Amino acid sequence: MDISKKNQLIAEELYRKGWVIVDDYLPEALYFPLLLEQQDILEHGQFRHAGIGKGESFAIKPEIRGDKVFWLDEYQLSPMQKKYWEIMEKLLIQINQRCFLGLRSFESHFAMYPPGSFYLRHLDQFQQVAYRIVTVILYLNKEWEEEDGGALRIYFPDENGIEQGLDIYPKGGRLVCFLSGELPHEVLPTHKERISITGWFKNTG
């Protein structure tokens, strides 16, 4: 299945249930160079500890989240980052056509969870980032086993309204997409370095 058909599937599943998982969204030939770029950026000390809140309320709290991030600048992308950005822009268009969410732009960062780190349950959309409408995560680790931990656990109600948790392991090339303001989620403790590109489709420019 080519990427355009995968994007159609993502848009349809978002419309139907609010979340979707697509394995092998990108082939190794596309996601592995992004992993190598992430490692180079990390080695040059450009990652920063992620925090919670925004503006004056921003704070680094490792008891809540322990990841490090490097924000991508739309105007200073590497060729591989630009290729990924263009793929995401096409996905944005596809989601808008099916879900009518008024998405206008994309923001993204590399995320790295060192061994032992986690991120407690939260929503990606809150008062200070109400413009985040759809979360999209591409995992970059080439190899991952369940015993490595680090699952993304998404919570959603079943047909009886009872909350269920779904664990999604960060397998390379896997894309996870969900409505930012509707699905609580957490990252369980990881036992090895866990790497992704995490991004958001926004309703602002």
Return the percentage of the chain with pLDDT > 90, whole number: 85
Per-residue pLDDT at 140: 98
What letter would DSSP give residue 177? E
Cα 138 from Cα 198, distance rounded (Å): 6
The answer to whether 90 touches 7, Cβ cutoff 8 Å, is yes
The answer to whether 35 touches 13, Cβ cutoff 8 Å, is no
Per-residue pLDDT at 46: 95
Domain ranges of the chain: 3-202
Topology, domain 3-202: Jelly Rolls (2.60.120)
> ∠ CA(19), CA(187), CA(21), 5° rounding?
25
In whole angstroms, how far apart are CA 10 and each of 18, 94, 112, 118, 135?
Answer: 10, 9, 25, 27, 12
Burial of 75 (0-12, 13-18, 19+ CB in 10 A): exposed
Q: Give SS3 for 195.
A: strand
Identify the segments of the chain with pLDDT beneath 50: none
* Beta bridge partner(s), residue 156: 164
Report, in angstroms and rounded to the nearest whole number, the Rg of the chain calculated over CA atoms: 16
Per-residue pLDDT at 127: 67
Cα 164 from Cα 153, distance rounded (Å): 10
173: amino acid identity, one letter: G
Cα 23 from Cα 200, distance rounded (Å): 19
Structure tokens at 111: 């995320």
